Structure 1
Amino acid sequence: MISVFGSANMDLVAYVSQAPRRGETVTGHRFRTVPGGKGANQAIAAARAGGEVAFLGAVGDDGFGAEMRVTLADAGVDVRGLRQVPGPSGIAHIVVDDSGGNSIIVVPGANGTVTGPSGSDLAAIASSQALLLQLELPMEAVAGAAQAARVSAVHVYLTPAPAQPLPAELLEAVTTIVPNEHEAAAITGVSTPDGALDALLELVPEAVITLGSEGALYGARSGERHRVPAVKVNAVDTTAAGDTFVGALAVARSEGMAVPRALEFASAAAALSVQREGASTSMPSRRDIEDTLT
């Protein structure tokens, strides 16, 4: 089983020809609401990629929370660990331009109430093969979940987004860190992907830097290195590409795929996701991923 301890947000997505600059008002051509949040996105991506997935997090007692619970369950995610708390659910305001680029503002809502893993969360983590973490929950909660996984020898994947300082108690429990190139540079202070990879491996045993249209770069302290090209596609919306990559990667590695094949599997999943709009609505099925790889 793969456990995901993380955020669940309702994405409020505005589509525009060009994103507004500071002080500028632009007219959008479409708006939609899509269940998302980096935690929920990764859980859905992993479930659709063929994994057995449990989601651990919180939503509010509003309509957004109810919709997110249904969306996760419909994707095949176990939502028994999704707690409901008084107040609003988390939201993300997303602007997507015609080139597929995006900018995002996250308001934590119920996610901010998760100050640590509950007893049932700890039990789910201990019985998992892998734990997926992101940084849209309070840092003390993320570090607590990571340390719980470490005690049970569970493989911990960390997506360090939104980028922020990473405490030692979190890093010492991480097995694989999966930043994009901007996050890798922010964490390490090194601007080149290869240099940032070397710096990350001083912090954790494994690192994968996602490079958008340039693919992904993998390294391990053992000396193993791989660079996997991206599948060439016309991007429509890149909102959940990184989350799709991580969810699919965790499934592939949990099934015992060799690292190069697992990276190809994850890259194919991410490429499929950017051809569709939205976050949770863009994630491909296992069959779609395998068809892309054949």
Structure 2
Amino acid sequence: MAGNLIVVGSANQDYVLAVDALPTGGETRLAHSLRRFPGGKGANQAVAAARLGAQVAIVGAVGDDDDGALLIRELRAEGVDTSEIEITSADRTGLAVVSLLPAGESAQTVVPGANHTLSAARTAHVVSRLATPDAILVVQAEIPADVVTAVVRAASQSAVRSVVNLSPVIDLDEDVLRHADPLVVHGVEAAALTGFAIDGRERAEEAAAALLRIARSVVVVADRDGAAWADDGGSGYVLSPRVGPAVDTTGAGDAFVGGLVTLLAEGASLKEAVRVGAEVGAVAMSRVGAQASYPYRRDIRQLRR
């Protein structure tokens, strides 16, 4: 089954440490707990979209190990088509060590592992084969830059819309970014691209306008406050709903993207897609874990009551 969302990206095993503070150089700190969750930007966004009812196929790579087998089982349980995940013996499954702080903020160190074994030629071929008139490509930057470039170009040749979540920021050719519809970045990434800090709504809107010069449309997520959007039809800002105290921000940005692309696949405007993305991200922040925190459609309907 080729989904109407083709997600090309990373699949990682997340090891989440609950800590009071991050250690400084030479310091040892004790964690309160260690928990393991499925993660990776590609897998996270695939699950977030699938829980909202989208048909999703993921293209990626895991190691021939227990973590890889677990990630595939979890994705299948969520209804994601995993037939294009390559199982490789060249490297271990990617992993992330996540330090979860008391206020819900998280700091992550990612070991790409098998994610960086993806072949640009093979991955582009898969995208071309999965392409359908109503498909949308979703790609992030925890995979090699040449793979991102290849799949966006393959999508363009098949008249498939590309959503590019440039996280983390990597060097991409201008023609790749010109196909981004939208280019999705958070405050840190927007600052790296524009040269100014994103410290609120006004700056987020300025960044969206500036980045519209290099992409077809743009979404700038301003941390927990909301997100600015801009396309050739207009621009605006959507406030995030207040669901409750932030418990864990891990994967909340991926939840946002999952909601965004699900609505785009259903034909919604960029403004409405951003609104749903903000709702999905807000719910995710009120729960622990990445994929485990993602809401279903019924949760979003209940949020609006």
Under a length normalisation based on structure 1, what TM-score does the superposition of the two structures give?
A: 0.95
Out of 82, 92, 96, the residue aligned to residue 96 of structure 2 is 92
State the Cα distance separating 1:126 from its structure 2 match: 4.8
2-side partners of 1:123 and 1:115: how far apart?
A: 15
Which stretches in structure 2 are left out of the alignment for 5+ residues? Answer: 198-202
| Higher mean C-alpha deviation, range 129-138 or range 184-193 | 184-193
Percent identity of paired positions between Structure 1 and Structure 2: 36
2:156 equivalent to 1:153: no
Which stretches in structure 1 are left out of the alignment for 5+ residues? Answer: none
Partner of 1:27: 30
State the Cα distance separating 1:196 from its structure 2 match: 1.5
| C-alpha distance 205-169 of structure 1, shift in aligned 2 (>3 A) | closer
Partner of 2:245: 234
Under a length normalisation based on structure 2, what TM-score does the superposition of the two structures give?
A: 0.92
Contact 1:19–1:96 (CA<8 Å) still a contact in 2?
Answer: no
| Higher mean C-alpha deviation, range 236-245 or range 181-190 | 181-190
| Secondary structure at the counterpart of residue 149 of structure 1 | helix
Contact 1:125–1:148 (CA<8 Å) still a contact in 2?
Answer: no
Partner of 2:172: 166
1-side partners of 2:178 and 2:115: how far apart?
A: 24
| Secondary structure at the counterpart of residue 175 of structure 1 | strand
Partner amino acid for 2:45?
Answer: Q
| Secondary structure at the counterpart of residue 188 of structure 2 | helix
Runs of 4+ in 1 over 4 A off after TM superposition: none
2-side partners of 1:58 and 1:214: how far apart?
A: 34
Partner of 1:107: 111
Partner of 1:273: 284
State the Cα distance separating 1:190 from its structure 2 match: 2.8
Q: How many corresponding residue pairs? A: 293
In the TM superposition, what whole-angstrom CA distance separates every residue of 1:188-208 from its partner, at most 9, and x where no partner exists? 213332222122101001111
1-side partners of 2:148 and 2:24: how far apart?
A: 33
| Secondary structure at the counterpart of residue 240 of structure 2 | coil
| Secondary structure at the counterpart of residue 13 of structure 2 | strand
1-side partners of 2:245 and 2:64: how far apart?
A: 38
State the Cα distance separating 1:167 from its structure 2 match: 2.1
| C-alpha distance 118-217 of structure 1, shift in aligned 2 (>3 A) | closer
1-side partners of 2:92 and 2:241: how far apart?
A: 38
1-side partners of 2:148 and 2:262: how far apart?
A: 21
| C-alpha distance 23-122 of structure 1, shift in aligned 2 (>3 A) | farther
RMSD between superposed Cα atoms in Å = 1.4
1-side partners of 2:271 and 2:145: how far apart?
A: 31
State the Cα distance separating 1:164 from its structure 2 match: 2.7
Out of 113, 125, 134, the residue aligned to residue 140 of structure 2 is 134
| Secondary structure at the counterpart of residue 180 of structure 2 | coil
| Secondary structure at the counterpart of residue 208 of structure 1 | strand
2:100 equivalent to 1:80: no
Contact 2:178–2:215 (CA<8 Å) still a contact in 1?
Answer: yes
